A and B are shown apart, each in its own frame.
Chain A
Amino acid sequence: MSGDHIHPEPTSFLRKHVFSVDHKVIAKQFMWFGLFWLLIGGIMAMLIRWQLAYPGTPMPVFGKLFFSSTGGVIDPASYNTLFTMHGTIMIFLGLTPLMIGCFGNWCIPLMIGARDMIFPLLNMLSFWTVMLGGAVAFYSLFVPLGGSEAGWTGYPTLSTTVANQGTGETLWAVAVFLIGASSIMGGINYMTTVIRLRAPGMRWTDLPLTIWGLFFTAVLNVLFLPVIGSAMILLVLDRVFGTQFYVPASIMAGGGGGDPILYQHLFWIFGHPEVYILILPAWGIVSDLLSFFARKPAFAYRVTVGAMMAVTVLSAVVYGHHMFTTGLSAMLGESFMLLTMIISVPGEILFFNWLHTIWRGSLRMDTPMLFALSVIFVFGLGGLTGLYLATISTDIYLHDTYFVVGHFHLTMAASALFATFGAIYFWFPKMFGRKLNETLGKIHFWGSLVPLTIVFCTMFVSGYAGMPRRYYDHTSADYLKPLQHLNVTTSLAAFTLGIAQLVFAFNFIKSRWWGEKASENPWEVGTLEWTLPTPVPHYNFKEIPNVVCGPHEFSNPAIPDGKDWIYQTEPLAEQPA
């Protein structure tokens, strides 16, 4: 395995900090980019929650800023744009760059003992493509007729010119295409790097689970982002050139023409794997963090990897459960229901492996560990409620209600976000040489976990009561009027959640420049990145390390010197029986 490809250290500012091909710099670029969009998407969420709790009431501060023409009231068209872009931004521009862009880039070379990604130039191109995609998405908000209003799923014919003549929707499709292209570049790079550049001695079973999660995500990215890319090309052709891929002829005119359901198939063939694209790195990171901070080996490592692999494979064949009310044939519907339910088995195996990892450990309750533990909690809530939605006869009622909103936010949003926070708190010392403040971290943690649980559990209640999602004003229908106080509860909790993120922003900025200096291995963890000095030198490893031991040998009695951890480059005194 070769890891000796070297590009010379750049000297100019532009090559060093802007157009850098160094994976560590690109990781930090992805981090700032993702955090910026997380902020924008978060503000959008606050606006949405304000409108839902107090419909038609002028919003303080932000209302004057963004909706001055209506006196601070959010109008229905802007509201539709808000939730569309909230979804698009959080998934494609917030979580994906943070989780996969930042930590993929940061962790993969450092944790497998490589000097850089295998294709550094492609890596840089990946960042600048997503940057372009972000710029297009941002610009789409300011064109005449406004940004996309068709939801992040962009179902035709609402997203075609039948219902929307503006360029905002077209630009949205272009942005999704560009972001997808960026993810494919990243995916190809990650896969090839993990396969080719592992340090000598590093077997597949010596990889930290973070790398496994990122590897499976890369596979899904490479396979399924092209599907959404093609779907977006067809959508743009429909909008710009008047083709008939998604626009049907009316039933009364004899039918024929395009097929809006075709888009739903294409979208969810991509869309369901996308959920796992976001959650697999989170699972990997959580599996590692739990072991690191419980000072115990990850329980049944191979089984965990197998379960993640099973989920990767299954993710491709369950997409139909998003379309139970669309009009699938009975046979297809039942097959998708069964396949979806099968996913609960690898899911359950992961849960028990995590719980067994911390069982009888020696738990260090630092902030990364708190976030990792909370992922078990929120993903448990979100994952188990998936059973209602996998079951067709209950999904018929719950589909497109707030129940679904609560479910997917807990699984793909909250779990991925909390794992990302855990990762930020964990790798921050190696990235920036300083530690994030622990007290502020704990305030941030509890200030996030408690309101977040209230937000999404209240959504379960309102969804169960039948409250449809994507409504501008729930007081408009008699049926929903008695449920309005649930919206107020959700929103107040959401505002608290939003304020808690300011604590994180403050902590991040303060600790980045003025925080407490961190030692080179503050968490006492043995994976390869902690063998390096801080800041990590340009070439990472002066000599490519020789790996002789697994990533999770905590509390192994064979560790010399009475420590409870060992570097992956250090041999155990004797192999345990």
Chain B
Amino acid sequence: MNRLVSLVSRARVRWLATPAALLLASTAASAQEVVDRWGPTPPASTYGPRFDSLFSLITTLIGISFLIVLVMLLVPCLRDNAKKGKKAHFDHGTSLHDKRFTAVVSVVVFIVLDAWVLVRAMGDLREAYWNVPAPDTPGIFKVEVLAQQWAWNFRTPGVDGELGTPDDVITINELTVPIGRPVVFNLTSKDVIHSLFLPDMRLKRDANPGAINVAWFEAAKSGDFDILCAELCGYAHYQMHGKLHVLPEADFPAWEKDASALALAAYDANDTEARWAWDWKE
């Protein structure tokens, strides 16, 4: 680091300071603009803001790191050009000072870049992403997802709150969930690997054939959101999307009642194809 300090204090590179400051300011400003204009939509799940916040932290950390690299790269390029008759400084970099520098920078990098982010990430995983509510938690909304080429089959419990019963609401490419209740998924696939991607909820989980994956989120905003497939699944992979409808608390019971009644009316005990529910996996 003292190399850097000595560099900044040098009079002959002071002309770098103003453009660098300008560049930094405009980068920061344009980064914000990029996020606002082209970044992801604002998080719509309770844990969504965790992603945005950790993303910003990493951006700041690696932004500073990259700036250091850039300065240390550009300064010799501009200053130490052979055309200017510069003589190289003979140095194998084996002195104690150099070894100490390497050790200190390694420790700093590991603590600042890695350990910091690691601790934050572990917190997010344990408190949010991997903290899947147990099946007997009151108020959770269970969804069984059966992916296929190229559609999403959703099974929600209906008014009786039990999966695998005649009043289960089965929908294709449309999923309606209530706001403010944890939505827990059991995912599998009929044919190839798919991946349930809810960009607004900051959630993605693979649907593997022959296995059940678990994921969850809790919607913090009502509205209609996109469901995408994020794992290559063949010819129409790009068209395998659906809609997630998050209903306000007041509207959901009425919707669920209607949907359940419709499902019961359409129930055919002989249609074995339609009875694809499985034992819930925690």
Contacts and interface: CB of A to CB of B under 8 A. Distances in A.
| Direct chain A–B contact by Cβ atoms under 8 Å | yes
Interface in B23-73: 34-35, 38-41, 50-51, 54-55, 58, 61-62, 65-66, 69-70, 72-73
A387 B60 CA distance: 12
B88 A555 contact: yes
B190 A361 contact: no
Contact of B40 (A299, A464, A474, A555): A464
Nearest to B231: A400
Contacts of B92: 297, 299-301, 552
Contacts of A157: 191-193, 209
A360 B89 contact: yes
Interface stretch (B13-21, B118-126, B251-259, B263-271): B118-126
A486 B40 CA distance: 13
Contacts of B206: 325-327
A321 B101 CA distance: 30
Nearest to B276: A252
Contact of B82 (A155, A295, A392): A295
Contacts of B86: 361-363
A162 B234 CA distance: 11
Nearest to B89: A360
Given A249-B210, A356-B93, A362-B80, A465 B230 contact: no
Given A355-B69, A394-B58, A373 B91 contact: no
Interface in A374-402: 376-377, 380-381, 384-385, 387-388, 391-394, 396-397, 399-401
B69 A380 contact: yes
Given A251-B211, A387-B113, A400-B195, A486 B55 contact: no
Contacts of B236: 76
Interface string B222-253: 00011011111111111101000000000000
A163 B41 CA distance: 34
Interface residues of A, number: 106
A345 B82 contact: no
Nearest to A347: B109
Interface stretch (A226-234, A476-484, A503-511): A476-484
A294 B76 contact: yes
A163 B226 contact: no
Given A80-B234, A252-B278, A295-B88, A325 B195 contact: yes
A261 B195 CA distance: 14
Nearest to A343: B114
B73 A373 contact: yes
B205 A327 contact: yes
Interface size class of B (residues with CB under 8 A): 35 or more
A14 interface: no
Interface stretch (B135-143, B174-182, B196-204): B196-204
B229 to A, nearest CB: 8
Contact of A250 (B73, B210, B213): B210
A338 B118 contact: yes
A442 interface: no
B118 A248 contact: no
B159 interface: no
Given A158-B234, A250-B190, A392-B121, A359 B209 contact: no
B238 A474 contact: yes
- Of residues A377, A387, A461, which shows the largest number of chain B Cβ atoms within 10 Å of its Cβ? A387
Interface in A152-177: 155-158, 162-164
A482 B212 CA distance: 34
B149 interface: yes
B109 A391 contact: no
B155 to A, nearest CB: 12
Nearest to B108: A348
Given A373-B73, A384-B62, A556-B90, A396 B114 contact: no
A356 B206 CA distance: 44
Given A299-B92, A355-B69, A394 B210 contact: no
B89 A296 contact: yes
B208 interface: yes
B203 A396 contact: yes
Contacts of A394: 51, 54-55, 58, 121
Contact of A363 (B76, B197, B233, B241): B76
B81 interface: yes
A349 B91 CA distance: 17
Given A80-B234, A338-B118, A396-B203, A327 B211 contact: yes
Nearest to A155: B193
Given A158-B192, A327-B213, A260 B208 contact: yes
Interface string A44-83: 0000000000000000000000000000000011001000
B98 interface: yes
Contacts of A472: 237-238
Contact of A353 (B93, B110, B120): B93
Contacts of B10: none
- Of residues A301, A361, A399, A464, which shows the largest number of chain B Cβ atoms within 10 Å of its Cβ? A361
Nearest to B69: A380
A300 B94 contact: yes
B238 A476 contact: yes
Interface string A324-349: 01110010011001100110110011
A356 B193 CA distance: 47
B230 A401 contact: yes
Given A397-B202, A477-B226, A465 B40 contact: yes
Contacts of A554: 88, 90
B172 interface: no
A480 B95 CA distance: 54
Given A162-B191, A327-B208, A352-B102, A393 B129 contact: yes
Contact of B232 (A158, A295, A344): A158
B129 A362 contact: no
A303 interface: yes
A358 B61 contact: no
A257 interface: yes
B3 interface: yes
A149 interface: yes
A243 to B, nearest CB: 15
B232 A251 contact: no
Given A299-B91, A396-B204, A468-B230, 8 more contacts: A76-B236, A155-B192, A156-B192, A261-B211, A297-B92, A330-B125, A400-B230, A471-B237
27 contacts: A149-B234, A162-B192, A256-B210, A294-B76, A300-B92, A341-B114, A345-B109, A345-B110, A349-B106, A353-B102, A360-B89, A373-B73, A380-B70, A387-B114, A387-B117, A391-B117, A393-B51, A393-B54, A393-B124, A400-B230, A400-B231, A465-B40, A466-B40, A483-B38, A486-B38, A554-B88, A557-B90
Interface of A: 76-77, 80, 149-151, 155-158, 162-164, 248-252, 255-261, 294-303, 325-327, 330, 333-334, 337-338, 341-342, 344-345, 348-349, 351-353, 355-365, 373, 376-377, 380-381, 384-385, 387-388, 391-394, 396-397, 399-401, 461-462, 464-466, 468, 470-474, 476-479, 482-483, 486, 552, 554-557, 564, 576
Q: Nearest 8 CB-CB pairs, A to B? A: A248-B210, A299-B93, A466-B199, A479-B226, A300-B93, A384-B62, A362-B88, A341-B114
